[in-house]
Structure 1
Amino acid sequence: MNQQSPLLLTDEQMRTFITNGFLILKTDFSDAFHEQLMAQLNLVYENEGNPGNNLLPRIRELQKVFDHPVITGALTSVLGEDYMLHAHRHGHYNASPVAGGWHKDSYWGYGRMRNHHPWWAMIMYFPQDTPVELGPTGVMPGTQNYETRTFAKDDNAEEAVASGKAGTFALIHYDIWHRSTPNVLGQHRYMLKFEFMRTKAPVSPSWNNQETAWQKPASISPSIIEHDVLLEETWNWMSGRIGSVAGTKPASAEQVNGLVQALEDVSEPVALNAAYDLAAAGSPGLEALLQAIRHESVKVSRLAGYGLSASGEAAVPGLIAALSDARPETVVHAVFALSELRGLAAEAVPALNGLLDGAAPVVRRAVVEALGTIGVPVDGVLAGLGRCLQDEDVQVRFMAGLSLSRIGAAAAPVVPQLVQSLDDENRYVRAHSLEALRYIGTEEAKEALIEDLLRSRWCWTTTKESTFYP
């Protein structure tokens, strides 16, 4: 790693990231550095095509980008010191005069319940000067918390674009709505996308924190809808406080009834506010959310899951009871809420492990992630995750490696199973198993990691034109 200390985000930058879902920042590499980087990109793309997940070994200069103190500081601030550079990365080339469609990225082709807490982030790096006319990435501010597209075609005026000099990059919440904008110049435009994951839940602020209480950032896009409780809860969560808004805004029976009705509103922002307001309403709100998670509408059930994830330890017994619901979606939403309550939900681990026997794949996918975030009791968590490494569903298998990365050294007993997973047919099962071995970090894990890396050694100068010499 670069020896320069990370340049951590300020409170105002963090407030802006939490509210808008992104920051536009810039490295200070020389023009010569980016000219060389562009020459390498052009050569690789013209002769070999997109290197995809092999961007770093094929274009080794890129590692300097991710060792830069502005980037390490931004990632440390949002994801903590032990963040992971995920195995998936992609070079996006845009020469089209037509804008791309608005979308949220999938998780390597698979689905999972999206999270308002920034467990994941992406960096989109621009190695060339990228004026608006060259088609930079556009993001819609404040949409990281919405499952549905909440803006219309004529709302694109509120779009923020990552335009600027070479070295500009967008740090974005993984789940924000974004797109490519039109490249009307028709010149080469690269955007190098890398994904990063938090491996440890926050226990204290990891940015340059000076102020404890949440407050709105000084500048907010006019398109952003107010989500006071949600944003405060996210700030508190990133500061290490779980369930911090639970019961902070007691509500009357009439007010709770109104919020329950608002959960069914056709407007997702309105319904989302109701879910978090119920979490803040105390015991009556909690009971309403526990009923709503079994609502006939899957959308209402999902929103209740978000509210329950912010409801603190008092929600755990009711969530464990919801694990026996016949509808898989209800169970997924309950598992998600338990996952976000982390160690407070330790008593749920036996019930979660029980779901690994015969539950639908979508449920098992939620369980494998929850075991990694709950983390205790370790024996019970490892018993479940060890089984997940052998699951017939590929998403369960590759999420198992990521969850074990979060357990760290305490996951040493499953090193033999991880070694077996290094021969899995799926690239992300293999990659995540390697990451788990790295984060476990015992001598046995390191030996297995080094042996596999040597066996699959990559020669970054070998191309079809230069197979072995010079």
Structure 2
Amino acid sequence: MERQSKPLLLTDEEMRKFITEGFLILKTDFSKGFHEKLNDQLLNVYEEEGNPGNNLLPRVTELQRVFEHPVITGALTSVLGPDYMLHAHRHGHYNASEVAGEWHKDSYWGYNRMRNHHPWWAMIMYFPQDTPAELGPTGILPGTQNYDSRVFEADELDQEVKACGEAGTFALIHYDIWHRATPNTLGNPRFMLKFEFMRTQAPTKPSWNNAESEWKLPESTSPLFAQHEVMWEETWNWLTGKIGSMSEKATNDSNFIENKLNALEDDYEPVALNAAYELACCGKYGVQNLLSALHHEKANVSRLAAYGLSIAGKDAIPGLIIALNSSRTSTVIRAIFALSEHRHLAAEAVPALTQLVEHPSVIIRRSVTEALGMIATPANEIVAGLTKCLQDPDAQTRFMAGLSLARIGAPADSAVPQLEVALQDENRYVRAHAAEALRYIGTEQANKALITFLFNSRWCPTTTPANTFYP
């Protein structure tokens, strides 16, 4: 059949399930022969060369067709917007072990950052062979993308969903969800090809097949650890382009607020998380209490207060700017995070934020580098700050500067000379992100620098130790 090129966008119901559960299991319709050829390529590369790591795409060329499939482009467009980025880090997981993997959230390549409840990042886990439960597919815990802690015990796995299916099945997952490799009791080779994707633009309107404007619960869900109605509704609103939407639900009921402040200190994270979001709906009085909680001696209380403040709207901005002067590094990082989620509404914070690009704390410098790209305005001041970040001694600050400049796009043209320097950086992700920044800037100067770099570093996908020159 003739392949469709137009993305097959997700429905409202699928988006509701992604928001609540943090994943979707979908399937491409490639032929059996396509996947047989893909698996032959994978086995050959792994046997002769080992894991190709970030060179997975050029070494297994059939994979490029997978990421052009309208089911995959449609799912990614729906969740991350039409200008999403395929990140330079990719990995082919090979599993033939009867031992289950450890539950984990993926790291940001060593980058220690606050995890975001909004879907700025997502992953595709693609299974190129028939993958029954016995072959050890990825196990996913629905709804746990918003939990920093493991709220489950090892023997309480009734909620686990396995990404089983025929060849061509894939899991689209929120980057921060808890997952693991399940036991492969058959012992046959099982590949799972993992690719990461980043949203480059904050949403301004729905990017899926949207028919209903108001949030409602999905018709059916997997078992969840808790209900998070306010957080889910706010995420839906955010994906439609709204900022601080829940502040419209303001209440000044002092008893309600007192109860939520007590719940914010609950040891069970889902309860405390709900309290943070509900306090954000309590207008100026709720904001004042969340700002106080941001300075709380308990790290989890402070962290969850930052999530509440990140959706609280413009009333939170002045207090968050003041918090940038805190003597406690973690408080400053959380204030930076909350400001970044307000995007252009936090433009007044930019002078204070740009002063932090030379802060002694490397963690603060990394955090502010990301935040500047999300706030994005005023562009001249932000681009000047990010150009300094490209020269930071810390590699993680430098590579986050590239991603932030990619988010800004054409207005970041003045950073092109320093991005050219970054193309020669010793760190692979600094180089990759600099190239992406040039691509998204897209001016004549940027394109010339990018094309020169790509020609000089071009890859031959058929050159291997066993096939050096001919044919």
Fold conserved (TM > 0.5)?
A: yes
* Structure 1 counterpart of 2:470: 469
Does 174-183 or 250-259 show the bigger shift?
Answer: 250-259
* Structure 2 counterpart of 1:273: 274
Is 1:261 aligned to 2:262, yes or no?
Answer: yes
* Alpha-carbon contact 2:79-2:208 (below 8 Å) kept: yes
Does 23-32 or 154-163 show the bigger shift?
Answer: 154-163
Which structure 2 residues correspond to residues 332-351 of structure 1 after superposition, within 5 A?
Answer: 332-351=333-352
Q: How much does 1:282 deviate?
A: 1.2
* Alpha-carbon contact 1:247-1:283 (below 8 Å) kept: no
| Alpha-carbon distance between aligned partners in 1 of 2:182 and 2:81, rounded to the nearest angstrom | 31
Counterpart secondary structure, 1:246: helix
Does 354-363 or 328-337 show the bigger shift?
Answer: 354-363
Counterpart secondary structure, 1:335: helix
* Structure 2 counterpart of 1:78: 79
**TM-superposition CA deviations, 1:255-307 (whole Å, max 9, x none):** 21111111111010011000000001111111000111111112111101000
Which structure 2 residues correspond to residues 196-215 of structure 1 after superposition, within 5 A?
Answer: 196-215=197-216
| Alpha-carbon distance between aligned partners in 1 of 2:336 and 2:231, rounded to the nearest angstrom | 20
Q: How much does 1:25 deviate?
A: 0.1
Q: How much does 1:340 deviate?
A: 0.2
Counterpart secondary structure, 2:183: coil
Which structure 2 residues correspond to residues 298-447 of structure 1 after superposition, within 5 A?
Answer: 298-447=299-448
| Alpha-carbon distance between aligned partners in 2 of 1:224 and 1:259, rounded to the nearest angstrom | 19
**TM-superposition CA deviations, 1:335-356 (whole Å, max 9, x none):** 0000000000001001001112
* Structure 2 counterpart of 1:290: 291
* Alpha-carbon contact 1:247-1:279 (below 8 Å) kept: no
Gap runs ≥5 in structure 2: none
Q: How much does 1:247 deviate?
A: 4.3
* Alpha-carbon contact 1:225-1:269 (below 8 Å) kept: yes
Q: How much does 1:223 deviate?
A: 2.9
| Alpha-carbon distance between aligned partners in 1 of 2:374 and 2:430, rounded to the nearest angstrom | 19
* Structure 2 counterpart of 1:456: 457
Counterpart secondary structure, 1:85: strand
**TM-superposition CA deviations, 1:60-85 (whole Å, max 9, x none):** 11000000000000000000000000
Q: How much does 1:359 deviate?
A: 3.6
Change (3 A) 1:399 1:432: same
Q: Which amino acid aligns with 1:316?
A: I
Gap runs ≥5 in structure 1: none
* Structure 1 counterpart of 2:238: 237
* Alpha-carbon contact 2:30-2:168 (below 8 Å) kept: yes
| Alpha-carbon distance between aligned partners in 1 of 2:309 and 2:346, rounded to the nearest angstrom | 12
| Alpha-carbon distance between aligned partners in 1 of 2:432 and 2:253, rounded to the nearest angstrom | 51
Counterpart secondary structure, 2:146: coil
| Alpha-carbon distance between aligned partners in 2 of 1:405 and 1:460, rounded to the nearest angstrom | 27
Q: How much does 1:443 deviate?
A: 1.2
Counterpart secondary structure, 1:261: helix
* Alpha-carbon contact 1:145-1:175 (below 8 Å) kept: yes
* Alpha-carbon contact 2:8-2:70 (below 8 Å) kept: yes
| Alpha-carbon distance between aligned partners in 2 of 1:345 and 1:139, rounded to the nearest angstrom | 35
| Alpha-carbon distance between aligned partners in 1 of 2:301 and 2:247, rounded to the nearest angstrom | 19
| Alpha-carbon distance between aligned partners in 2 of 1:250 and 1:221, rounded to the nearest angstrom | 32
Q: Which amino acid aligns with 1:68?
A: H
Counterpart secondary structure, 2:260: helix
* Alpha-carbon contact 2:21-2:224 (below 8 Å) kept: no
**TM-superposition CA deviations, 1:218-238 (whole Å, max 9, x none):** 112233311010010000000
* Structure 1 counterpart of 2:144: 143
Number of paired residues? 469
**TM-superposition CA deviations, 1:434-464 (whole Å, max 9, x none):** 0000000111111111111111111111111
Identical aligned pairs, as a percentage?
Answer: 66
* Structure 2 counterpart of 1:166: 167
Q: Which amino acid aligns with 1:230?
A: M
Output the aligned Cα RMSD. Answer: 0.9
* Alpha-carbon contact 1:6-1:69 (below 8 Å) kept: yes
| Alpha-carbon distance between aligned partners in 1 of 2:243 and 2:324, rounded to the nearest angstrom | 21
Counterpart secondary structure, 1:19: helix
Counterpart secondary structure, 1:265: coil
Q: How much does 1:110 deviate?
A: 2.0
Counterpart secondary structure, 1:423: coil
**TM-superposition CA deviations, 1:146-187 (whole Å, max 9, x none):** 000111112212100110000000000000000000000000
Does 6-15 or 353-362 show the bigger shift?
Answer: 353-362
**TM-superposition CA deviations, 1:35-59 (whole Å, max 9, x none):** 0000000000000000010001111
Q: How much does 1:249 deviate?
A: 4.2
* Alpha-carbon contact 2:101-2:181 (below 8 Å) kept: yes
